[in-house]
Amino acid sequence: MRAWFQHPVFDAAIVAAGVGLALALRISLLDFKSADYFDYTKLWFNTLNAEGFSAFDHGFANYNLPYLYLLYAVVRFLPDLPAVVAIKIPSLVADFVAAVLAFAIVRVRHNSSAFPLFAALAVLFAPTLVLNSAFWGQADAVYGCVLLASIYFMIRRQDAAAMLCCGLALALKAQAVFLLPLVLGLVLRREIRWRTLVLIPLVMLAVLVPALLAGRPLLDLLLIYPSQAGQYEQLTMHAPTALAWLPDGGRYYRYFYTAALAVAATMALAFSWAIYRSSAKLTPGLLIELSLISVILLPFVLPKMHERYFYLADLLSILFAFYVPSHFFVPLIMITISFFSYQPTLFGVEPVPMGLLAFGVFVVLVVLLRHALPRLFPVTGDN
């Protein structure tokens, strides 16, 4: 019996069953239409369906271009799909790409065990990751899996490939900036070569070329992210951040917004400086942990954060638990917090006060820092 369970056919059966169940789970959720669908993505789909590629000559959407290219490809090659399904296809594909990358990253640490497979399945069945893509139809899985590829290449010390993926992730969604404090720290340590940083803006400019050829002005394309940043004047958009502890609204926004940006910039630079000043070897496990801290720290202190901006934290916390099994509770807490923070937007209820959820994120951050700092700055010798 033991030999049968260790047979490759058994592993293949587990993979097939896991993929099949993950697909069935997502298919059961595809018909849900969120407010974002009616207000945004359905309109983008209809525009691409009616105008084709010529739609890129004007700003018909407030997302950056790579995701819209993916949506255009779905419209072009799968024209009979209902709009609510079509807009979710890029994210559904990205879910499975992320699972493959999770397998590869955990395999660096556990090459001869079942842990890589368990990590891939954990990514496929994590509640908030499923809700984000299959139910809500958000695009966080798309940039998330690209950023996961960047981290994989960092672990493999392939810095050019890592920066290419980082640039593509930033071109997909501005929230990829959450990983940049880690990147800066690695550059300062010369773990990433300075010259490879040029790949980030090159990729971000390269994705503009198809829209430029379609006739859209360059200035319009360069202003996509600045226009997104000015869209809302709220300190937090149902996100469990430190700003959830402060009064919101127009009366206080102009004070706390600027202060929060200053605090976020200071903390990001301090984090990068700590990585630079550390003489410890950055093992794959420590890189995963520092990546997780980076993608929790920045959204926790930045203003105007949406609830789904902790998507990367949910994803990376799963991988962290496979590198540090004693901290298995980190993804359980982080994903539970994200799950409850989704409730006001998706279902119109707030079962747990946002301030309490924010305190949970703070606790997770403290636990991670308490675990990481002694590894960055190990005590050698007697005092």
State the pLDDT at residue 249: 58
Per-residue confidence at 231, pLDDT binned at 50, 70, 90?
confident
Per-residue confidence at 140, pLDDT binned at 50, 70, 90?
very high
Residue 20, token pair as written in the block: 């099949």
Distance set, CA 112 to CA 15, 109, 331 (Å): 16, 9, 23
Return the minimum-mean-pLDDT range out of 44-58, 93-107, 222-236: 222-236
Beta bridge partners of 236: 305
Beta bridge partners of 305: 236
Distant-in-sequence, close-in-space partners of 373: CB < 8 Å, separation ≥ 6: 274
Domain ranges of the chain: 12-376
Taking the C-alpha atoms of residue 203 and residue 172, their distance in angstroms, rounded to an integer, is: 11
Percentage of the chain with pLDDT > 90?
A: 82
pTM for the predicted model, two decimal places: 0.93
154-176 pLDDT tens trace: 999 999 999 999 999 999 999 99
Q: Say if CB 221 and CB 211 are below 8 A apart.
A: yes
Residue 227, token pair as written in the block: 């226009």
Per-residue confidence at 3, pLDDT binned at 50, 70, 90?
very low
Q: Write b or e for each residue in 226-265: b if 16 or more Cβ atoms lie within 10 A of its Cβ, otherwise e.
A: eeeeeeeebbbbbbbbbbbebebeeeebeebbeebeebbe
